[in-house]
Structure 1
Amino acid sequence: LPARRLDGLEYNPWVEFVELAKEYETVNLGQGFPNFPPPDFAVEAFQQAVSGDFMLNQYTMAFGYPPLTKILASFFGKLLGQELDPLENVLVTVGAYGALFTAFQALVDEGDEVIIIEPFFDCYEPMTLMAGGRPVFVSLKPVFSKAELELVARLCQQHDVLCIADEVYQWLVYDGLQHISIASLPGMWARTLTIGSAGKTFSATGWKVGWVLGPDHIMRHLRTVHQNSIFHCPTQGQVAVTKSFEREQLHMGQPSSYFVQLPKAMQRNRDHMTHSLQSVGLKPVLSQGSYFLIADISDFKSKMPDLPGAAEEPYDRRFVKWMIKNKGLVAIPVSIFYSVPHQKDFDHYIRFCFVKDEATLQAMDKKLQKWKAELGP
C-alpha cells in the first residue's frame, strides 16, 4: 500500500493533455519548454565539462560545485543587495522542482498553513500536502504590481511568515519592465528563499540544475533534507552552468548578454502569437514575462457552451480538448493552476507557450489560418 501522504495525489493533469496531443496532428503550444537550442556558449561549456577533466565524472561538494556556488553568490548578491556566502546562503538542487521540494520538506510541519497564490505551478499543492501542510489559496486578478508585492512583504513581516519565491523566469521580462525579487525589499532577506533555474535561464530545461538562495538560519534546514535525500547533484551540468554565468557576468547589461537577447527575441514571439490568436477570436492577455500568454475564451464559452465532457468539468478543459481534436492546437487550461473551489471562476482562460522556434510559430499560423477560414466572413 502507498504511504498516506500520497492519498489523492495520483492524478496529474499534464499526462491527460500530453497523451491527447499525441493522438492528433497538433502544434504543441502547451508545455513550457524551448524547442530551440541553448546558446552556443552554454552548449560548449557542457561539452567541455563532459570531455575535459575526467574528475568531473565524480562527486563534487554535496551542496553545490564550489565554483557554481561562488558565482551564484556573487551574481545574485549584487541583485539582492546582500553579501552572500557560497557555503551558507546557496544550495544547488535538481532543478527548481528539487529546490521547491526540499524547501517544503524542510520548513512545512504537520498542520502548517501554506498560502498559495493562484494561479500556481501545479506541484505547490501536492508538495504542501506531502509535507503535512494545509494549502490556503489566494486568487490573483489579472494584475500584479510592485505595490502588491510590497503589501505581501509587509504581511509576511507583520505575521512572521516565511516566503518561498519561485523566480525561475526572472530574466524573461518584457516591454522594458524589470523583475523585482521580493527578497530585495526591506526586511525580507531574513525570511525569504529565492529559487532559480538554469533550465529557464539558459534555455536548457533538461539539465535540471536549480538553486535556492537565503539566510543561513533557514538554509541549514534545507541542507539537512538535501544531505538525507539526493545528497548531491550531477557535477557536469553544474560546471556548464558555472561557465555560463561567468560569461554572463562579463557581458551583463550589454547587447551581447544572453539575458538581454533572449527576452527581446521572446517578446517578438509573444507579439507574433498575440496577433495570430486574435485572428480567430481568442483574446490574449498581454504577458509581461515568462514563457506564456493567457487567452480569454469567454466569447467561445458564450457561443459554444455545450462542448463534450463531464458536466462538472471546467469549460477551459473541455475547450482545450475540443481545440486539440478539431483545430490541431494544444494549449493548457488555466483552471488546472487553481484550487478546486476556484476553478469554475477561472475556467475561461487557456495558456499558450510562445518560447518556440520560427517553424513552430509558422505551423501555428497555418492552423489558425485554416480555423479562420472555417469561421467564414
Structure 2
Amino acid sequence: WQPTHLFADWFLDPDELAGKFNSKTKAIIINTPNNPIGKVFTKDELQMIADLCIKHDTLCFSDEVYEWLVYRGHQHVKIATLPGMWDRTVTIGSAGKTFSVTGWKLGWSIGPEHLMKHLQTVMQNSLYTCPTPLQEAVAQGLLLNYELMDQPECYFTSLADELEGKRDRLAAIVEEAGMTPVIPEGGYFMLVDVTALNQDLSHMDEDEAYDYKFVKWMIKEKKLAAIPVTAFVGEESTKDFEKYIRLCFIKQDGTLDAARSILKSWTKV
C-alpha cells in the first residue's frame, strides 16, 4: 500500500480573475478558509483580490466562518485589514462554526458603518427573531477566548489541534481504501477523489453528475454519507469536480472507526 494524497493549495489565476472584473462589477464574495476545498487564501492572494476591488471600486463580502480552524503551516488573514479594504469590506462570522453550535443559527457581520446600516435594514425585514440568551452566550464565549488567545486552554486553539488529528486520521482511512484525499488547510471538510474505485453506476440516472450518483449509491449500499461536490460549482465546472465527494471529519472517534470498518470491508468485496 502506497499512500497518495493531494493538497488544497489550489490558486486563483491572476489573469482569469482580473478578466472577471469590469465597470459593472459591484461586489465579490470570497470564502477563506474555503468550503468545500479547505483552501486558506494567502496574504498575497488576498492582496491581488484587494487590488482589483480598489481598482474597480468593488465591494468585498468575505465569508470567514472557519477562521479559527486553520492548521499548522497556514495563517488566516482578514482581507479587511489590507490597505484600502476596510471601507469596502463586510466580514462574515458564524457562532455555529466557531463554537460548534450550528443549531443556534447565529452569526455576525463586521464592517464600516456606511455598509452595516444597509445590512441592518435587510436583517430587520428578513429575520423574525434572534434569541437574546444565545447571543449573550456567544458574546461571553468570544470575550473569554480572546483573553485566552494562543494558550492551550483557548477553545479556538484546542479545537483546531483536535481537528487536525481527525483530518489526518480520515486522510489515512480513505487512502487505505484506495481513494485520494485532498488535505485541507482549514475547515472541517475533506474532498476525496473516488476515481480509483471505478464504481460502475451506469444503472443510475444518466442526467445526474457522477458524484451525485456515487453519493446516493454509497448511502444506500454502504450506509456511508457524503456530499456531492458539484453541488458547489457551476455547470461549466461539473466535469472537473464530479470525481470528488466531500467528507466531514468533525466527528466522534467512534464515527470515524465505523467509517473505517465500512471502507475496509468495501475494498475486500
Q: Contact between 1:279 and 1:372, CA under 8 Å: does it hold in 2?
A: no
Unaligned runs of 5+ in 2: 1-23
- Residue identity in the other structure for 2:135: Q
The residue that corresponds to 2:216 in the other structure is 321
Structure 1: how far apart are the matches of 2:91 and 2:31? 18
> 1:112, CA displacement in angstroms?
7.2
The residue that corresponds to 2:240 in the other structure is 345
> 1:228, CA displacement in angstroms?
2.8
> 1:147, CA displacement in angstroms?
2.2
Structure 1: how far apart are the matches of 2:104 and 2:74? 28
* 1:170 equivalent in alignment to 2:97: no
The residue that corresponds to 1:224 in the other structure is 121
Q: Contact between 1:270 and 1:354, CA under 8 Å: does it hold in 2?
A: yes
> 1:363, CA displacement in angstroms?
1.0
- Residue identity in the other structure for 1:261: S
Larger radius of gyration between Structure 1 and Structure 2? 1
Structure 2: how far apart are the matches of 1:143 and 1:208? 24
- Secondary structure of the 1:151 match is helix
- Residue identity in the other structure for 1:368: L
Q: What TM-score results when the alignment is normalised by the length of structure 1?
A: 0.60
Residue 149 (structure 1) aligned to one of 30, 43, 46: 46
Q: Contact between 1:307 and 1:318, CA under 8 Å: does it hold in 2?
A: no
Structure 1 runs of 4+ off > 4 angstroms?
111-122
Query: Deviation string for 1:335-364 (max 9, x for gaps)?
Result: 000012322222111100000111111111
> 1:117, CA displacement in angstroms?
6.3
Query: Deviation string for 1:47-82 (max 9, x for gaps)?
Result: xxxxxxxxxxxxxxxxxxxxxxxxxxxxxxxxxxxx
Structure 2: how far apart are the matches of 1:271 and 1:188? 35
By relative contact order (CA 8 Å, sep 6+), the higher-ranking structure is: 1
The residue that corresponds to 1:297 in the other structure is 194
> 1:285, CA displacement in angstroms?
0.6
* 1:369 equivalent in alignment to 2:261: no
- Equivalent residue runs for 1:228-243 within 5 Å: 228-230=125-127, 232-243=129-140
Q: What TM-score results when the alignment is normalised by the length of structure 2?
A: 0.83
Q: Contact between 1:167 and 1:195, CA under 8 Å: does it hold in 2?
A: yes
- Residue identity in the other structure for 1:307: S
- Equivalent residue runs for 1:37-76 within 5 Å: none
Structure 2: how far apart are the matches of 1:337 and 1:330? 17
> 1:121, CA displacement in angstroms?
6.7
- Equivalent residue runs for 1:244-283 within 5 Å: 244-283=141-180
Structure 2: how far apart are the matches of 1:339 and 1:314? 12
Aligned-pair Cα RMSD in Å: 2.5
Identity of aligned residues (%): 47
